[in-house]
Copies of this chain bind each other. A is one copy, B any other.
Amino acid sequence: MPKLGMEPIRRSALIKATIAEIGHVGTLEVTVSRIAKRAGMSSALAHHYFGSKESMFLAAMRHVLTLYGAEVRGALAAADSPEGRALAVIRASFSPANFRREVISAWLNFYVLAQTQPKARRLLAVYQRRMVSNLRHALRPLLGAQAGKVAHSIAAMIDGAYLHAALGHDAPDATAAAEQVEEYLTLALSMESRA
């Protein structure tokens, strides 16, 4: 049966299965066997391609970040004003894709992992820096020297509102969460007159 060139296919299937499984269990307490079964192969093969469970996790996290990054980039490209760019970053963060059960799980567990895994922490730092950098760049023409500070605040609020929406009592309301942050943005921009 061995068709050649299986490696990328298998890896991709395993990454998707890892995310799905984390979403299903909620924790990182998922077994390689389960992931492999979901991806339609033996656990031995999973080890063959990834070497360890840990590196499967990291690959999965990288994948989530890549998707998110692509979404942000797409939204930024479609924006045509500074304010539009800031809104793009905010809205991309609250897209339906980010509220799928697996993605929420991945993020929460990513935070846990980032405490102790240097690689996970570095990955998270990259994501955070990029988000702040995008926001600062969008806000600079509008807020000048204060752009940096406001960018950090918006970044924090995005993550906080995401957390609240994802873990709130009722079903997550992404739209409401996005509006919360957008209102803050409006507020901050309206202070531009006080200079």
Shortest distance in angstroms between A179's beta carbon and chain B's nearest beta carbon? 10
B121 near A112: Cβ-Cβ < 8 Å = no
Expressed in whole angstroms, the Cα–Cα distance for A28 and B27 within the complex equals: 9
B163 near A157: Cβ-Cβ < 8 Å = no
A111 near B163: Cβ-Cβ < 8 Å = yes
Tell which of A43-51, A59-67, A75-83, A102-110 binds the partner: A102-110
Q: Is the interface of A mostly helix, strand, loop or mixed?
A: helix
Total interface residues in chain A, CB < 8 Å: 43
| A163-B156 in contact given A108-B111, A112-B109 (Cβ < 8 Å) | yes
Interface string of A171-183 (1 = CB under 8 A from B): 0000001001001
* Cβ 8 A contact of A156, one of B27, B115, B164, B190: B164
Expressed in whole angstroms, the Cα–Cα distance for A29 and B44 within the complex equals: 24
Interface string of A155-172 (1 = CB under 8 A from B): 111111111100111000
Chain B positions within 8 Å of A121 at CB level: 167, 169
Expressed in whole angstroms, the Cα–Cα distance for A181 and B170 within the complex equals: 25
A153 near B167: Cβ-Cβ < 8 Å = no
| A153-B184 in contact given A121-B167, A159-B164 (Cβ < 8 Å) | yes
Q: Which A-B residue pairs are the 10 nearest by beta carbons?
A: A160-B160, A156-B160, A26-B116, A159-B160, A156-B161, A26-B115, A125-B169, A157-B157, A108-B112, A156-B164
Interface residues of A (CB under 8 A from B): 25-29, 104-105, 108-109, 111-112, 114-116, 121, 124-125, 128-129, 149, 152-153, 155-164, 167-169, 177, 180, 183-184, 187-188, 190-191
Known: A153-B183, A157-B157. 9 other contacts (CB 8 A): A26-B115, A108-B112, A121-B169, A129-B169, A156-B157, A156-B164, A159-B160, A160-B160, A160-B162
